[in-house]
Chain A
Amino acid sequence: MHRHRRNTAEIEFLYRQHGSALLLFALAITGERGRAQDAIHQVFLKLIENGSLSQAVDKKAYLFACVRNAVLNEGKRDDRNTQLEPDSVWFIPPDRDYARERNLRRALGVLPDDQREAIVLHVWGELTFSQIGDLMGISSNTAASRYRYALAKLRDAMFAKENFCANS
């Protein structure tokens, strides 16, 4: 009983610590806030019930892997690019500049799913390329190159858009 309570407390702590990044990661896969939130709740409630988190060596990477599996196992995702909800906000932008937030979200939405996942996992999830590689079933080098490629595309998309907006 005491052990279960301690395990629950640890999982709740991890939820507070990584919940935002996990939600963003789920959003990057599903494109829908509701589904992303449900997937995270499902993962954490299962962890509390099973108490399986204590066996994980790398808890953070394990959580991201669980969220990814939960979303993919839903079976609602197909091979084409995710359709992002246009009005769903993903970030709290600096200076509450929601035009820039929309710009970032659109630029992320243009990326292929695997590149978008790599960007979210490395920038906001703060996972290493080795962790990302393990999670996505690729080598760490492939994860790194996928990230670099995605980052360049994201930057081009964002600044092209911002310049376009500034000029128009």
Chain B
Amino acid sequence: MPTPDDERFEIYLKQFHPLVPDPMPTEGRGQASRRSFVLRAWFAAVAAILIVAAIGLHIRSNRVAAPNTAIEAASPVVPLQPLTMRSANALLATAPSFKAVVDGLAFRSESLTLPKGEQSALAVLGKEKIKL
């Protein structure tokens, strides 16, 4: 039979708490795998953002290029000749609207091709380094 002394002594002994053991090796492994999973997730997210940005830039550059081709397609009637009063009058007479004529005249210099052996004075001046 346990005596009151025994019970008191047991209570006294229970005030001493055993030490906590080291964490289990699997817990460390679990944390490491969780950490590597988080890292992999971050890398995946960054890669996804870069891909989306690249696709966005690609689409945007195509959109910027599109108006030139549209204008070129919309103004096949514009002859690739130097602009004179005569040609301008001819354009005004044949074009569907005044705006179409102005657009055609505005973009025609870009599509102007020079004969072989000749070059644009503006292009030459643009290349030269002028020292003042």
Which of A41-49, A55-63, A77-85, A130-138 has 4 or more CB atoms under 8 Å from chain B?
Answer: A41-49
In the complex, what's the smallest C-beta–C-beta distance from B37 to chain A, in angstroms? 15
A93 at the interface (CB under 8 A from B): yes
Give the complex CA separation of A124 and B19 in angstroms: 11
User: Which of B9-51 touch A at CB < 8 Å?
Assistant: 9-10, 13-22, 24-27
| Given A41-B25, A48-B26, A104-B13, also A20-B18 (CB < 8 A) | yes
Q: Is the CB of A45 within 8 A of B25?
A: yes
| Given A123-B10, A151-B6, also A19-B21 (CB < 8 A) | yes
What class of interface size applies to chain B in its complex with A? 10 to 19
| Given A41-B25, A151-B6, A151-B9, also A21-B18 (CB < 8 A) | yes
B117 at the interface (CB under 8 A from A): no
Q: Is the CB of A37 within 8 A of B21?
A: yes
A121 at the interface (CB under 8 A from B): no
Give the complex CA separation of A31 and B2 in angstroms: 28
Interface centre among B5, B16, B17 (most CB of A within 10 A): B16
Q: Which single member of B5, B19, B26 contacts A12 (CB below 8 Å)?
A: B26
A118 partner residues in chain B, CB cutoff 8 A:
none
In the complex, what's the smallest C-beta–C-beta distance from B35 to chain A, in angstroms? 18
Q: Which single member of B10, B15, B20, B26 contacts A20 (CB below 8 Å)?
A: B20
| Given A123-B10, A123-B13, A151-B9, also A24-B26 (CB < 8 A) | no
Q: Is the CB of B21 within 8 A of A40?
A: yes
Interface centre among B6, B13, B14, B22 (most CB of A within 10 A): B13
A140 partner residues in chain B, CB cutoff 8 A:
none
Give the complex CA separation of A49 and B90 in angstroms: 91
Q: Is the CB of B17 within 8 A of A123?
A: no
The 10 lowest CB-CB distance pairs between A and B, nearest first, are A24-B18, A91-B16, A20-B18, A94-B15, A23-B21, A19-B21, A92-B17, A123-B13, A155-B9, A20-B20
